[in-house]
Structure 1
């Protein structure tokens, strides 16, 4: 799935991504980079709403795992189980979410998925504003094999 296809998928299946004006800068089974502008995500302080920051990170993390499973031909339902977000800096403009599977125990995840039809994996996303890390999200996802 390329950038345009992922953007269309997110906007069609997760309408909040369209309302946030999320754009896809990179889409691969190794890394997903999403961006969102400030205006549709602004809060009363003139900075980005924490829920938008969190959602953008969650979308990036979910997307990279979705693309990896798709690339390996694993039909599944992928859902979020738990998230943790550390907000480090206020976001006063366009923000970029970068998520990858570096450091994830992919082999154990695959083994559990094949053995039990269900597995969990944590994926990290960093949210960057003007080159600095403004937030970090850790999402724990559950994949269920479709049979």
Structure 2
């Protein structure tokens, strides 16, 4: 994957839910990844973002950032565990931001993956709305060489 468009295409082809949610890769580089999705297909009965959509978008931001950073086409990436805290309702379009882990954590992850064929790493993400953090997410992701 060489661009945000490549990553978005990959997500839409491999994870059909991203199409239904309207997920777009808004930003993607080695420091952070930003995913967006419109409110309309992700709303609940209160006309705010559905909690499951918020969780999915936050999870996808970590998953996508790891794909981007690993750049290993034969890896299987899965989420092992996660926690999420819903702080405020999201009344508009969804925006999840996942920052790259510290350089030493990423280096350890890459080294373990190269040596053992598997590695795990913790990633944090937030969903922002109205210039505030609406959701905090932490997840442990595992990559396995297929």
- Alignment TM-score, normalising by the size of structure 2: 0.91
Kept in 2, the 8 Å contact 1:29–1:65? The answer is no
Aligned to 1:111: 111
Paired residues, what number?
Answer: 144
Kept in 2, the 8 Å contact 1:30–1:64? The answer is no
The separation in 2 between residues aligned to 1:3 and 1:58, in whole angstroms, is 17
The alignment partner of 2:61 has SS state of helix
Give me the CA root mean square deviation: 1.5
* Cα distance, 1:8–1:114 mapped onto 2, change above 3 Å: closer
Kept in 1, the 8 Å contact 2:70–2:110? The answer is no
For residues 34-73 of structure 1, the aligned pairs below 5 Å read 34-70=35-71, 73=72
Cα deviation, 1:102-147, whole Å, max 9, x if unaligned, reads 337112222322332211101111100111000011111111123x
Cα deviation, 1:13-54, whole Å, max 9, x if unaligned, reads 111111011111112233110111111011111110000000
Post-superposition offset of 1:74: 6.8
Kept in 2, the 8 Å contact 1:85–1:138? The answer is yes
The separation in 1 between residues aligned to 2:128 and 2:111, in whole angstroms, is 33
Aligned to 2:89: 90
Post-superposition offset of 1:10: 1.0
The alignment partner of 2:69 has SS state of helix
Aligned to 1:22: 23
- Alignment TM-score, normalising by the size of structure 1: 0.91
